[in-house]
Structure 1
Amino acid sequence: MAVLVVTRRAAQYACTLLGYTLQKGGAAAELRRTVSQLEAHMSLTRKLLRLGNSVEALEAAKRAIHLSDSVLRLCLTVSHLNRAMYFACDNVLWAGKTGLISKLDQQKWSQRSFRYYLFALILNLTRDVYELRLLMECEARYRATKAPPSPYPSTTLPNNSPTAALPVMSVRLRKQLHLFVTVLFSNPPLLLDLLKNSCDIFIPLDRLGIYPTGTGFVGACGLASSVLSILTMVHPWLKLKP
């Protein structure tokens, strides 16, 4: 079921991106309308397939609350709770679109669902950054134990020397950048999760009008994050745990 939902999501955002491309290319109105209808159909199908996701998110929150790490416990628990609320709003929207709930203010409920979605993504990114920081600190300590002592300690310039400030900062920056890249590429699950959440966050930011990026960019981000999600399903070891 999860794979089906994600593939529908990929198809929906592919239609979004295609519609934007057709509009920019001056394609026929009939073709653009067909793509738009297909996108709406994919969106409605996704909402139908996600009817039980609120319960799953609540169960995930119940599991996360028992994590030993306080930062992970807070981020994951609150993130799952927000996802549960997002899916609940999504279910209401589905009921409104199918006519089960008449006179539903769909714009209001859509904005509400995207607010929950945005907060969940912010917490997910916070978790990613936290785990990245822990791994970088661990890697830095490991390198420090392996690095040989400097044979010329007396040649070190004073900290307040203007001539030493820029080179030292440059070296430190290069080391941190190298450490950052090394840690990310040696931890594919964290890298993929960070990329996925970074792509996803532009969707609610655009929908809520906080940071409008346009239909084309939203479509590209949604498609990219969907492909990354499919990748973690095909190769479960790429999924970040817990």
Structure 2
Amino acid sequence: METWVRFNSQSQAKERLCRAAQYACTLLGYTLQKGGAGADLLKTVKQLESHMSLTRKLMRLGNSAEALEAAKRAVHLSDSVLRLCVTVAHLNRAMYFACDNVLWAGKTGLLPTLDQNKWSQRSFRYYLFALILNLTRDAYEIGLLMERESRCCGSAKASLSSTPVALTPENGDLSPTPTSPSPPLLLPAAPSLPALSLRLRKQLHLLATVLRNNPPLLLDLLKNGCDILIPLHRLGLYRTSDGLVGAAGLASSVLSILTILHPWLKLKP
């Protein structure tokens, strides 16, 4: 199986290019249709999109083995949340690829009696579950990094303010004198709207800092966010236009190609 995984990884870039071309055809067909293009041109674009989809399915034969190997590696992760999300996501990807292989056999005529609509819906359900788990993993890692960044900022501020200074009435010593009355006890007030707005701005700044300092996490979040529109649309859970689906698929394909060209941009594990 390891030999097959190594062989299969060499064709990932070609599959990503075919995927980008497929969703570019989807976007082009939607744009031409809105522009009132002729039926012959629209039919040609549709046929090209279908050929690209079938070619991708051929290239993904055996991808289930790679997904299963990735799930076996993820079982040994020390973090329990990451272990659960990554392992189950890879298992769903394995089932998605298996359904996709069956669907390819139906489209090529090897299984002429196959209910292609049922298997297509089944494959998109597994794809959706995998993407939800990937987004959950991204959110979990963002939360951990934001908490770590917040602690680092707090420690830096504490170290700056830890220099001992002798307090006198001239530099701000407000300790009560024996003759001064005791200060009244005040109950903590509820946070006001400006305080909530300030807290929200701090959290957004912290989020931007974390994503800017972690390009692999940012790319994975963008890629999964674009990809999830596709199964939501195909399953009828969130209907949108073919143009948006094509643009989302094209964008996620380009991001995937970037992670192949520059492996350090791929989120690990």
TM-score with structure 1 setting the length? 0.95
Q: Taking every aligned residue pair, what percent have the same amino acid on both sides?
A: 73
Secondary structure of 1:203's aligned partner = helix
**Cα distance in 2 for residues equivalent to 1:23 and 1:63:** 46
**Cα distance in 1 for residues equivalent to 2:50 and 2:194:** 56
Amino acid corresponding to residue 207 of structure 2 in structure 1: F
Answering whether residue 223 of structure 2 is matched by residue 196 of structure 1, we say yes
Answering whether residue 210 of structure 2 is matched by residue 183 of structure 1, we say yes
Residue number among 21, 25, 34 corresponding to 1:15 in the alignment: 25
The corresponding residue for 1:214 is 241
Residue number among 77, 80, 84 corresponding to 1:74 in the alignment: 84
Query: What CA deviation, in whole Å up to 9, does each residue of 1:42-89 have, x standing for no partner?
Result: 000000000010010001000001100000000000000000000000
The corresponding residue for 2:55 is 45
- Gap runs ≥5 in structure 1: none
- Gap runs ≥5 in structure 2: 1-10, 163-170, 175-185
Query: What CA deviation, in whole Å up to 9, does each residue of 1:79-112 have, x standing for no partner?
Result: 0000000000000000000000111100000000
**Cα distance in 2 for residues equivalent to 1:21 and 1:158:** 62
The corresponding residue for 1:5 is 15
Answering whether residue 153 of structure 2 is matched by residue 126 of structure 1, we say no
The structure with more helix, counted as a fraction of residues: 1
**Cα distance in 2 for residues equivalent to 1:176 and 1:102:** 55
Query: What CA deviation, in whole Å up to 9, does each residue of 1:105-125 have, x standing for no partner?
Result: 000000000000000000000
The answer (yes or no) to whether the contact 1:200–1:221 under 8 Å persists in 2 is yes
Residues matched between the structures, number: 237
The structure 1 segments of at least 4 consecutive aligned residues displaced by more than 2 Å after TM superposition are 148-152
Answering whether residue 189 of structure 2 is matched by residue 160 of structure 1, we say yes
Answering whether residue 103 of structure 2 is matched by residue 93 of structure 1, we say yes
The answer (yes or no) to whether the contact 1:128–1:194 under 8 Å persists in 2 is yes
For the aligned residues, what is the CA RMSD? Answer: 1.7
The alpha-carbon deviation at position 13 of structure 1 amounts to 0.2
The alpha-carbon deviation at position 149 of structure 1 amounts to 4.5
When Rg is computed on C-alpha atoms for both structures, the one with the higher figure is: 2
